[in-house]
């Protein structure tokens, strides 16, 4: 299988690809946008053999025969070059997302091509894409109406062991306005050319780069035919599955509440305490079987799955996390700074007047862009097996319900993409492949809310914030004025997380999957509230570590030293009489805190929740 020319579908990453929509009618101007073509990905030529014998013209191919009863669609080329729809979303602004997150219509072909190329350069795939062509598909039964499909030409040398997955798209006989093509797993429906093709080596799995797999996850409600069935799990296979749990901690809280500091403390606590071996024996003992049938996760973490699974499972070194817990923080502020600096040579969009201030609620969508970039980078790093990350921390204020819902929905979508990828890979495996270990990633999301309601602590924190990277080239009074205004801006919209909100997110955005939450106070004698219960703790080492951290925080040297520093900040006469502290008190006065409390009360009243008043 060397040096073959392929024509690949332009889009093999429609997240909802259980069936395809029929090519759009060219006369229908509502459907004329380039992006509609994304939904119509076909392979019409494989190995220079056209599956449905179109007439080939340099840049345009007409499929004269409307009775295309089989088209092949390549949906994956190994796992490395699987294109998750999240990548596409990352190229579209957050504000353009629909509530369902489907942004595929907003992606231009140029971006799509870029995605394909980026993906093709992925070192595991070794593939190179050459050109993007438009092909005309003529449908004589519809008079002079033409439809178009975009196809990508792919010049490639297929590396050893590369597997392609072909989905066969088969037309139905009934003619109605519904989608006309469906995936079929009925081999008799394959067009004879494809069936006879050497691509499909039906006798030898090992020699063929192509395996035919059709999944019909959401069959059309109109389908009654047995030809179109969900593929059954392949019971009795011998490959092994390695489950790998990845945690996403989503921080939430007002600016300067201590989110970054506390999460760093937590990382240190967990990485010191939870080294390999300390927990694996007691907690994961016996956790060496998973049932291949139970694909969707209910509320699982590093917990013992139901035993009695039919297959042997190799849990990677009998552990679900690395030698040393590997955690990375993805900070939206850092991404904003580096992005703004690259573009404007300024540290961030400056606040000459309040309308232009990035932190004003009016500029919410701009902040959302940075949050989205950060989240995408987080997903990319967390799911990249080379990074071997156990946990990613999404460090942003995530201070509104709207934002948190978005984050949770993105995580859910990411989970679904991972699951789909896993299922695709599973379907590609040879039945008796005992050596293969298939990795199954699952994401466990945890909200970590940090609250600081003590006026002295907030003042001290803001004082320290004036030395951060946003203000490295600004005088102290500018920094204090600017940051204190930032806190006021956020307080206009800030809505603390409640248990009710988490329940709501769990049921609607996570479709019943568990979502963990902990609220930690950042002050002297800090306390916490959580929805993590004893059952969860028994089965999950990371949640265990988190609760341990919350329980022991007051006794940790970091916390003691923080409280001491705040105390001496207020008792040390020379600090208190310094010019900087005079400026600080000038801005952070009674009036300021009254305003802060007023704002907090207003939003909390709107949502009918308890007000975290600052004293």
Ligand X SMILES: O=P(O)(O)OC[C@H]1O[C@](O)(CO)[C@@H](O)[C@@H]1O
Ligand Y SMILES: Nc1ncnc2c1ncn2[C@@H]1O[C@H](COP(=O)(O)OP(=O)(O)OP(=O)(O)O)[C@@H](O)[C@H]1O
Least distance (Å) between residue 371 CB and ligand X: 4
For ligand X, the closer of residues 201 and 493 by Cβ is 493
Count of residues that bind ligand X according to CB under 6 A: 12
Least distance (Å) between residue 456 CB and ligand X: 20
Least distance (Å) between residue 566 CB and ligand Y: 8
Task: Identify the DSSP state of 508.
Answer: I
Judged by beta carbon distances under 5 to 8 A according to partner kind, the member of ligand Y, ligand X, none in contact with residue 15 is none
Q: Which one of residues 371, 488, 495, 518 is an interface residue with ligand X (CB under 6 A)?
A: 371
Strands (E), 337-477: 391-395, 437-451
Binding pattern for the stretch 423-462 against ligand Y, x by CB under 6 A and - elsewhere: --------------------------------------x-
Are 517 and 497 a contacting pair, CB within 8 Å? yes
Q: Which one of residues 194, 256, 335, 518 is an interface residue with ligand Y (CB under 6 A)?
A: 256
Alpha-helix residue ranges (DSSP H) falling in 516-613:
534-539, 541-552, 557-571, 573-576, 579-587, 590-607
Q: Comparing C-alpha atoms, which of 540, 342, 310 is closest to residue 442?
A: 540
Count of residues that bind ligand Y according to CB under 6 A: 17
Check binding of 255 to ligand Y (CB under 6 A). yes
How far, in Å, CA of 402 to CA of 404, rounded? 6
Task: Identify the DSSP state of 228.
Answer: S
Judged by beta carbon distances under 5 to 8 A according to partner kind, the member of ligand Y, ligand X, none in contact with residue 172 is none
Least distance (Å) between residue 461 CB and ligand Y: 3
Least distance (Å) between residue 563 CB and ligand X: 22
Task: Identify the DSSP state of 349.
Answer: -
Are 2 and 158 a contacting pair, CB within 8 Å? yes
Are 320 and 302 a contacting pair, CB within 8 Å? yes
Which residues, numbered 234-263, are part of the site for ligand X (CB under 6 A)?
255
Phi-psi region of 358 (alpha: psi -120 to 50; beta: other; left: phi over 0): alpha
Judged by beta carbon distances under 5 to 8 A according to partner kind, the member of ligand Y, ligand X, none in contact with residue 562 is ligand Y
Q: Comparing C-alpha atoms, which of 45, 422, 420, 100 is closest to residue 243?
A: 422
Residues 6+ apart with CB under 8 A from 493: 361, 364, 399, 400, 603
Check binding of 367 to ligand X (CB under 6 A). yes
Judged by beta carbon distances under 5 to 8 A according to partner kind, the member of ligand Y, ligand X, none in contact with residue 89 is none
Q: Which one of residues 333, 445, 496, 545 is an interface residue with ligand X (CB under 6 A)?
A: 333
How far, in Å, CA of 597 to CA of 255, rounded? 15
Q: Comparing C-alpha atoms, which of 187, 185, 293 is closest to residue 236?
A: 293
Stretch of residues binding ligand X (CB under 6 A), selected from 20-28, 91-99, 217-225, 331-339? 331-339
Q: Which one of residues 464, 529, 531, 580 is an interface residue with ligand Y (CB under 6 A)?
A: 464
Binding pattern for the stretch 492-521 against ligand X, x by CB under 6 A and - elsewhere: ------------------------------
Beta-bridge partner residues of 331: 395
Cα 156 to Cα 46, 78, 120: the distances in Å are: 12, 14, 10
Helix axes 557-571, 455-465, angle to 10 degrees: 90
Are 288 and 313 a contacting pair, CB within 8 Å? yes
Check binding of 257 to ligand Y (CB under 6 A). yes
Least distance (Å) between residue 485 CB and ligand Y: 13
Q: Comparing C-alpha atoms, which of 211, 208, 221, 215 is closest to residue 233?
A: 215
Are 239 and 429 a contacting pair, CB within 8 Å? yes
75: part of which helix (H) or strand (E)?
strand 71-77
Q: Which one of residues 240, 259, 372, 420 is an interface residue with ligand Y (CB under 6 A)?
A: 259
Residue nearest to ligand Y (CB): 258
Which residues, numbered 370-429, are part of the site for ligand Y (CB under 6 A)?
397
For ligand Y, the closer of residues 85 and 260 by Cβ is 260
Least distance (Å) between residue 395 CB and ligand Y: 7
Judged by beta carbon distances under 5 to 8 A according to partner kind, the member of ligand Y, ligand X, none in contact with residue 332 is ligand X
For ligand Y, the closer of residues 194 and 266 by Cβ is 266
Residue nearest to ligand X (CB): 333
Q: Which one of residues 262, 351, 373, 543 is an interface residue with ligand Y (CB under 6 A)?
A: 262
Hey, what's the torsion of the CAs at 581, 585, 588, 594, to 10 degrees?
A: 150
Neighbour-count burial for 279-304, b at 16+ CB within 10 Å, e otherwise: bbeebbeebebbbbeeeebebbbbbb
Check binding of 163 to ligand Y (CB under 6 A). no
Which residues, numbered 379-398, are part of the site for ligand X (CB under 6 A)?
396-398
Are 7 and 151 a contacting pair, CB within 8 Å? yes
Least distance (Å) between residue 253 CB and ligand X: 9
Judged by beta carbon distances under 5 to 8 A according to partner kind, the member of ligand X, ligand Y, none in contact with residue 371 is ligand X
Are 43 and 6 a contacting pair, CB within 8 Å? yes
Least distance (Å) between residue 548 CB and ligand Y: 17
List residues binding ligand X (CB under 6 A): 255, 332-333, 336, 367, 371, 396-399, 403, 486
List residues binding ligand Y (CB under 6 A): 253, 255-262, 333, 397, 461, 464-465, 522, 558, 562
């Amino acid at each position: 299988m060397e040096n073959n020319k392929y024509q690949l579908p332009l889009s093999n990453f429609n997240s909802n690809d259980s069936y395809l929509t029929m090519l759009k009618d060219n006369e229908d101007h509502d459907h004329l946008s380039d992006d509609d073509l994304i939904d119509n990905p076909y392979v019409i030529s494989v190995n220079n053999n056209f599956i449905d014998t179109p007439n080939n013209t340099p840049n345009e191919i007409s499929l004269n025969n409307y009775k295309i009863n089989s088209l092949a669609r390549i949906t994956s080329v190994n796992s490395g070059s699987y294109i998750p729809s999240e990548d596409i979303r990352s190229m579209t602004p957050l504000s353009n997302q629909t509530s369902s997150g489907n942004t595929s219509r907003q992606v231009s072909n140029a971006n799509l091509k870029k995605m394909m190329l980026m993906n093709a350069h992925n070192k595991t795939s070794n593939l190179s894409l050459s050109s993007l062509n438009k092909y005309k598909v003529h449908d004589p039964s519809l008079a002079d109406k033409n439809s178009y499909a975009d196809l990508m030409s792919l010049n490639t040398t297929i590396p050893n062991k590369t597997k392609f997955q072909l989905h066969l798209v088969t037309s139905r006989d009934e003619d109605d306005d519904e989608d006309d093509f469906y995936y079929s797993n009925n081999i008799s429906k394959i067009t004879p050319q494809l069936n006879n093709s050497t691509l499909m080596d039906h006798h030898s799995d090992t020699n063929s780069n192509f395996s035919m797999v059709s999944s019909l996850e959401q069959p059309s409600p109109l389908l009654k035919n047995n030809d179109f069935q969900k593929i059954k799990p392949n019971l009795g296979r011998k490959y092994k599955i390695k489950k790998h749990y990845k945690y996403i901690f989503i921080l939430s809280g007002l600016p300067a509440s201590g989110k970054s500091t506390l999460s760093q403390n937590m990382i240190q606590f967990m990485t010191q305490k939870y080294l390999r071996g300390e927990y694996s024996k007691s907690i994961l003992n016996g956790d060496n079987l998973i049932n291949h049938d139970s694909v969707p996760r209910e509320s699982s973490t590093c917990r013992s799955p139901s035993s009695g699974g039919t297959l042997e499972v190799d849990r990677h070194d009998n552990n679900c996390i690395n030698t040393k817990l590997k955690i990375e923080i993805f900070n939206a502020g850092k991404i904003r700074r580096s992005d703004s600096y690259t573009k404007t040579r300024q540290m961030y969009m400056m606040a000459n007047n309040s309308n232009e201030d990035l932190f004003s609620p009016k500029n919410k969508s701009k902040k959302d862009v940075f949050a989205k970039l950060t989240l995408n980078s987080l997903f990319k790093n967390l799911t990249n097996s080379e990074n071997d990350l156990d946990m990613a921390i999404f460090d942003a204020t995530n201070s509104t319900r709207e934002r948190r819902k978005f984050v949770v929905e993105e995580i859910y979508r990411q989970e679904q993409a991972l699951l789909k990828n896993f299922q695709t890979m599973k379907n590609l495996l040879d039945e008796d492949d005992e050596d293969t270990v298939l990795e199954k990633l699952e994401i466990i999301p945890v909200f970590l809310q940090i609250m600081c309601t003590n006026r002295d602590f907030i003042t001290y924190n803001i004082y320290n914030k004036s030395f951060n990277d946003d203000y490295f080239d600004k005088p102290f009074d500018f920094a204090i004025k600017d940051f204190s205004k930032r806190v006021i801006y956020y307080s206009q919209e800030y809505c603390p997380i409640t248990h009710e909100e988490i329940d709501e997110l769990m049921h609607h955005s996570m479709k019943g999957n568990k979502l963990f939450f902990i609220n930690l106070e950042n002050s002297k004698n800090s306390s916490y509230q959580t929805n993590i219960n004893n059952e969860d703790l028994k089965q999950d080492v990371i949640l265990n570590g988190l609760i341990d951290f919350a329980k022991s925080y007051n006794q940790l040297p970091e916390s003691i030293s923080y409280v001491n520093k705040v105390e001496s900040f207020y008792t040390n006469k020379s600090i208190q009489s310094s010019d900087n502290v005079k400026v600080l008190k000038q801005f952070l006065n009674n009036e300021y805190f009254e305003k802060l409390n007023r704002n907090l009360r207003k939003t909390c009243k709107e949502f009918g929740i308890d007000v975290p008043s600052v004293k």
